[in-house]
Chains A and B, each alone.
Chain A
C-alpha cells in the first residue's frame, strides 16, 4: 500500500527522557517515522522499549516531572505539536488525535456514568446542545456494537465487561471524528475471542472513517492482522521500518529476525522457538554503539563503538544496522 500525499504525522528525531534520582532514562531516543491519512502503522517492541512513551510524547502527555521531551519535532498537519501552547494542545487531544489504552478495566473513571464520560468529550470539542450530544453518544455506542445503547449509556463502567468497556473507550475516542487514533495495546488485557472482535472493530472503523492509526503492540500476530506498515522498536530506537508483508517475509534487522523466530508460525515448521539471549538494557546507561549489540548474534567490534546508520535497503524499508542487507 502506498500513500502519495503528505504525511499526517511526522516524527523527527523525537527524544524523550526521564530525569530520575538514578540518572537520566533515555526512553525515546531519536525516533522518526511518518504516518499518512488512512494508514495503520504498527509500533512493535517488547515491554519497556519506549512504545507508550512515544505515543504519550505525541500528545504531550508524558508525566512531567520526571519526564521531558528534550528534542525533535512532532509535525501534525504541518504544525509542530511540541511548539504549541497547552491550550491549543487541549483542542487537539480527543478532537484531532484520540487515544485508547491497554486496560479498559481501569481507563474509565469508576464514579461517573458512561454517558457522562462520552458526552464530556463531545461537549468539550463541539458546539452542541445536551440533547444533540446525547443522541451522538448513543449513536457512537451503537456504532461500536454495544447492544441497547440507549439504556446502557446511563450505566456506570463497572456494569460493563472488559470487551464492552474497550468499546466504550473506542466510542469515546471516536466521538469527535479524529484524524488520528493512537491505540496503545488496546487488546492486550482482553481474552482472545474478545481481542479478535475489538481488533475487527478498530479495523472496520478505521476504514470507514479513513483514520490514521498508530497501533502499539508487542503482539506480532495482531500487527499482521491490522497494520499497513510496521516500525519495530528496541530500547528507545526504531530498528526497522517497512511494510507489513516485508516484515514477515524479508526481515532485515537482527532484532526483528530474532523476534519473529521466537513466535510460533502456522506456515513454517519450526522444531524449536528462538530465544533472544540476555535482557533488555538499562536505558540510563544504554549500550554504546548499537543498543542491540550485547544480544546480537552477528555483533562485531564496530557495533559496540559506532551508532549504526539508517539504511534504506529498498524503497521504504529502513534498517538501523551496520550490516543492513548484508546479513
Chain B
C-alpha cells in the first residue's frame, strides 16, 4: 500500500473515530451531576425554579440528549434556536455552501438567499457558550497565546534535551550526565504549580538574576499605553514569555533528555555503530549520522503526541502566571459548567491528537525505511 492510500485510509477511519469521541464526550457532559444553571443558582440563591427552568429552556438544556447532540453536531435554526424546518434548511445550507463561499469573496453574486440556519460543529462552528459569546471567536482569541507558549517550551525541551541527552549517553555516569539526569528527575517530579511559584518568587520578587525583575503576570504589561512601537511591544511580549516557558519547558526537557539518553545508549551498543567506527569515520559522524537518526525515533513519537495536546494548554502553568490562554479559560469554563465551550475545546483537542498521530506515523516512514504502510 502506498503512503497516499495509507493517509486516505487513516483519514477515512478518523471519521467514525471522531463521531465516537464526540458522542462519548457529549454523554459525559450531559450526565454530569450539575449544570450551568445549578452553578448560577449557587451565586444567586434567590433565583426561582421558574426562572431556572426558563434559562434551561433558552439554552436548550431541557431537550432530549439525542436532540441536543444532533443540534450541536449539524446545526439549528438560528432564530428559534431549534429544529425549525430542519431538513429543508439543512439541505439548503449544504447545497449552497460553495456558492455562498464564492459570493462572500465578492467575485460573483449568485443571489444566494440568506439562511436562518446556524451551522453545527461539522461545519466548523462550535456554537455559542452558555454566557452567549461565540466559542469560535473566544478560542480564536486565546489559541495563539497558548500555542505561542507551548511551541516555545517545546523548542526549549528539544534544544536542551536532545544535545544533553546525547552527551549523557556518550559519557554515561560522568559528572555532567549525573547533573543532567538529576535535573531531569527534578524536572519530571516537581509539580508545575510549585516550580511556577518558586520561579515567580526567585526571579520576579527576589530578583536573584542580576537584579532583573522578570515579568510574571499575563502575556503583556498592563501598563501599555498603546503608543509603543512594534519593537517595544515585541520585547514586552517576549519578556513575559520567559518564566512561563521555562517552567512549562522543564518537564518536557526532562522527558526529552531521558528519552534521548536511553535510546542513544541503546543505539550506541548496536553492531552498526561498531561497523561505522571500523570504517574509520570520525566520532562526530558516528554519533550525529549513524546513531542519532536511529535514536531519535522514540523522541519523534513523544514529541508528535505532545503536539496533539498542544491546544489543551498547560492549565496549571497558565493559571500560575495568569496567562490569557486556552488552558486557563478552560478551567474557568469547567467551573462554570459551560458544557458547550468544553465540547468545543475537547473536540478541538481530539482532532489535534488524531491529526498529530497521523503526522507522526508519516514522519516515521520517512525516518525509518523499514516501515512501510
Contacts and interface: CB of A to CB of B under 8 A. Distances in A.
A101 B271 CA distance: 8
Contacts of A172: 275, 279
A110 B279 contact: no
A109 B290 contact: yes
Interface stretch (A118-126, A199-207, A254-262, A278-286): A118-126
A92 interface: yes
Interface residues of B, number: 19
Nearest to A102: B271
B272 A93 contact: no
B271 A90 contact: no
Interface stretch (B15-23, B37-45, B363-371): B363-371
A90 B367 CA distance: 28
Interface string A269-311: 0000000000000000000000000000000000000000000
A222 interface: no
A7 B278 CA distance: 22
Contacts of A156: 369-370
Interface string A94-109: 1100110111001111
A169 B278 contact: no
A106 B266 CA distance: 13
A95 B279 CA distance: 7
Interface string B274-306: 111111111000000010011000000000000
Per DSSP, are chain B's interface residues mostly helix, strand or loop, or mixed?
Answer: helix
Nearest to B272: A109
Interface in A148-184: 156, 158, 169, 172
A223 interface: no
Contact of B278 (A61, A91, A102, A113): A61
Nearest to B372: A158
Contact of A94 (B279, B367, B368): B279
B279 A111 contact: no
A154 to B, nearest CB: 11
Given A111-B293, A111-B369, A158-B370, A106 B280 contact: no
Contacts of A112: 290, 293
B5 interface: no
A111 B294 contact: yes
Nearest to B279: A94
Contacts of B270: 106
A110 B280 contact: no
B266 to A, nearest CB: 13
B112 to A, nearest CB: 54
Given A107-B274, A121-B280, 13 more contacts: A59-B278, A61-B278, A94-B278, A95-B280, A101-B271, A101-B275, A110-B272, A110-B369, A111-B367, A111-B368, A156-B370, A158-B369, A158-B370
